[in-house]
């Protein structure tokens, strides 16, 4: 009986944890890209985020319209989070990835930034327009790796 309760508790914990790392609708290299993006935000690592954003990054609707501005924004956000509080990015795919051209993929996501202290969720913040972000990622022809070229 005690073992069954323990197993049920593990299942309840595992399901949301696994969906945070494996958003439904993403697979292959796109899934690996978003795992890397999540790790970058969860670890407050601006240098790692820099490698995931294209030098050609642009946005018309966000205040951060180029790569330098968005990296500065991430740095500012991470500095405001106390060292004992950890962010956890959660991504829900709202529209199946759409292949555009040879190397571009268009997605619509619901991104939530959760702030945790000792495993307790203190706050959650949705991002984007109408709580959604449209994102264009592009595969580098030399390395085969994706980077973000646009967010609206």
Taking the model in full, what pTM does it have? 0.79
The partner residues of 114 in beta bridges, in order of sequence, read: 88, 124
Q: What is the mean pLDDT of the chain?
A: 83
CA distance 58 to 26: 23
Supply the pLDDT for residue 37.
Answer: 93
The first and second tokens of residue 129, run together, are 């327009």
Confidence band of 23 (pLDDT split at 50, 70, 90): low
Residue among 46, 49, 12, 47 nearest 33 (CA): 49
Q: Examine the pLDDT at 4 and tell me if it is beyond 50.
A: yes
CA distance 42 to 78: 10
> Over the stretch 111-128, which tens digit does the pLDDT of each residue have?
888 888 877 788 888 877
Rg (alpha carbons) of the chain, rounded to whole number:
17
CA distance 152 to 145: 21
State whether CATH 3.10.450.50 applies to domain 2-151.
yes
């Amino acid at each position: 009986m005690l073992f069954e309760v323990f197993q049920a508790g593990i299942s309840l914990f595992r399901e949301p944890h696994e969906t945070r790392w494996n958003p439904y609708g993403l697979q292959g290299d796109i899934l690996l890209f978003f795992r890397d993006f999540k790790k970058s935000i969860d670890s407050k690592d601006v240098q790692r985020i820099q490698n995931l954003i294209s030098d050609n990054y642009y946005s018309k609707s966000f205040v951060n319209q180029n790569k330098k501005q968005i990296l500065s924004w991430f740095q500012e956000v991470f500095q405001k989070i106390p060292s004992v509080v950890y962010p956890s990015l959660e991504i829900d795919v709202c529209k199946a990835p759409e292949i555009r051209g040879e190397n571009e993929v268009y997605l619509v996501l619901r991104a939530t930034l959760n702030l945790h202290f000792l495993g307790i969720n203190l706050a959650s913040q949705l991002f984007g327009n109408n709580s959604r972000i449209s994102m264009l990622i592009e595969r580098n022809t030399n390395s085969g790796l994706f980077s973000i070229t646009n967010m609206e």
